[in-house]
Structure formats: structure tokens, C-alpha cells
């Protein structure tokens, strides 16, 4: 037996067979662009970027391919959006490191190590996603340029914190940031990561560890 809510709205709890049952919550419908991204993500993982088609994504979403172009103007834009969602997760993880209450020199080590590790993991565990990330980076498409800007902002925050606390003696912020990216390029840029795919991970980590220690020494000494 059901009883309406005391206010007559019908939105309150309902009573059935002597038990109070919470009203069912209706989930908000998934937006079309989010649904398309989900389908494209699955197609990319299963088929690879070359075999993904807007027509197939549209068909699974129950719409015409022309309708897909209302949300994503091209196949590249659709795949870049898939990679972009992953990159935002990476950036959130790196931001957590940059915001941690650790000394700036420790943060630089953790941030660069995490950036290298998450991309190398993607190369082996999600190669099709990594391929889109690499292609967008080499072609300097908008998703890659925005990612680069966010990375730079995170490194800049750590450098400024290190200078302000006296951990870093380097006073030229711009030169310090440029040095960090130049010195770590082989281990943090997706093109270099792909080129070193056959190098054993322990050897990569040993080499990168030496580079990070060199970066820390330079930042502490201020000699750039």
C-alpha cells in the first residue's frame, strides 16, 4: 500500500507493506558529446586510430555522422577529445604533486617522474591512446598546445615556490623553466618516449634519475 508525501507532492518517501521506501532518483541523461566520447574511446582502444570512423561512432550512438560534426568538427577533433580527457586526468595528478606540502626540489623530482611514468605506461598499456597523444603533440594540435601550457604552469609554480623558499638559488624563472623542459625532454616528450620503447625500464629510470639530480643541483646552485 502506498501513501503520498504529507505535502501532497508525491515526491516524498513511499510506504509499501509497512516499509518506508526512498523515492527513486532519476539519473540525468548523458549529454550527446559525452556519449560520443565514450563510444569513440572504446572504438579507439579496440580498433586503433586509423580504423576509427565517425560513421561507426555515429551509428552506435544512434545518430547520423552529420550530427556528430555538430559536436566534433572532424575525426581528429573527436580523437583529440578522447586523448584530452585522459590528459586532464594526468594534469590533475600532476597538480596534486605541485600542490603538496613538500620541498620544491622533491616536487620537481616527483612531478617529472610522474609525467614520464604515466606516458610510458600508456605506451604499453593503451598504445592507441598514446598514438593519438603523440600525433597531436607532433602536429601541435590545440589539445597538445593546451596540455603544454598547463604543464608549464605547474612547473612554474614549483619553481616560483622554490625560489621564494630559498630552496632554489636560480633567480631567472624563465631560464629555469626552459632548462627543466630541455633537460628532461628525452624522458617526458612522447616522441622520445616512443623512440626509447625498447630500452629496459630500469635503465630508463636510472638514466632519468641522474638527469633529475642534475636538474636539482642546477636549480639549487642557480648556475644556469
List, for residues 59-106, the tens digit of each pLDDT value.
999 999 899 999 999 999 999 999 999 999 999 999 999 999 999 999
Mean pLDDT, the chain, whole residue set: 90
Q: Which three three-digit cell numbers place residue 127?
A: 598504445
**pLDDT value at 16 more than 50:** no
- Paired strand residues for 14: 21
The reported pTM is 0.83
The backbone region for 141, taken as left when phi is positive above 0, alpha when psi lies in -120 to 50, beta otherwise, is beta
What are the structural domains of the chain? Answer: 27-73 (1.10.10.60), 83-221 (1.10.357)
Q: What is the pLDDT of residues 119-146, one digit of tens each?
A: 999 999 999 999 999 999 999 999 999 9
Q: Are 2 and 15 in contact (CB under 8 A)?
A: yes
**pLDDT value at 29 more than 80:** no
Mean pLDDT (whole number) for 186-193: 97
Amino acid at each position: 500500500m502506498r501513501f503520498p508525501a504529507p505535502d501532497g507532492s508525491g515526491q516524498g518517501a513511499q510506504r509499501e507493506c509497512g516499509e518506508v521506501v526512498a523515492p527513486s532518483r532519476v539519473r540525468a541523461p548523458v549529454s550527446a558529446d559525452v556519449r560520443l566520447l565514450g563510444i569513440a574511446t572504446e572504438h579507439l582502444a579496440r580498433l586503433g586510430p586509423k580504423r576509427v570512423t565517425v560513421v561507426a561512432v555515429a551509428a552506435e550512438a544512434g545518430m547520423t555522422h552529420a550530427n556528430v560534426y555538430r559536436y566534433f568538427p572532424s575525426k581528429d577533433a573527436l580523437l583529440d577529445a578522447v586523448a584530452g580527457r585522459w590528459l586532464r586526468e594526468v594534469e590533475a595528478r600532476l597538480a596534486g604533486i605541485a600542490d603538496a606540502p613538500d620541498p620544491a626540489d622533491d616536487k620537481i623530482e616527483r612531478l617529472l617522474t610522474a609525467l614520464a611514468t604515466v606516458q610510458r605506461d600508456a605506451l604499453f598499456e593503451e598504445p592507441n591512446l598514446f598514438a593519438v597523444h603523440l600525433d597531436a603533440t607532433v602536429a601541435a594540435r590545440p589539445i597538445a598546445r593546451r596540455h603544454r601550457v598547463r604543464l608549464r604552469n605547474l612547473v612554474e609554480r614549483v619553481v616560483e615556490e622554490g625560489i621564494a623558499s630559498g630552496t632554489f638559488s636560480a633567480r631567472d624563472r624563465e631560464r629555469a623553466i626552459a632548462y627543466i623542459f630541455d633537460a628532461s625532454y628525452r624522458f617526458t616528450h612522447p616522441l622520445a618516449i616512443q623512440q626509447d620503447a625498447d630500452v629496459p625500464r630500469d635503465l630508463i629510470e636510472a638514466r632519468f634519475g641522474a638527469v633529475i639530480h642534475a636538474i636539482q643541483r642546477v636549480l639549487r646552485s642557480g648556475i644556469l
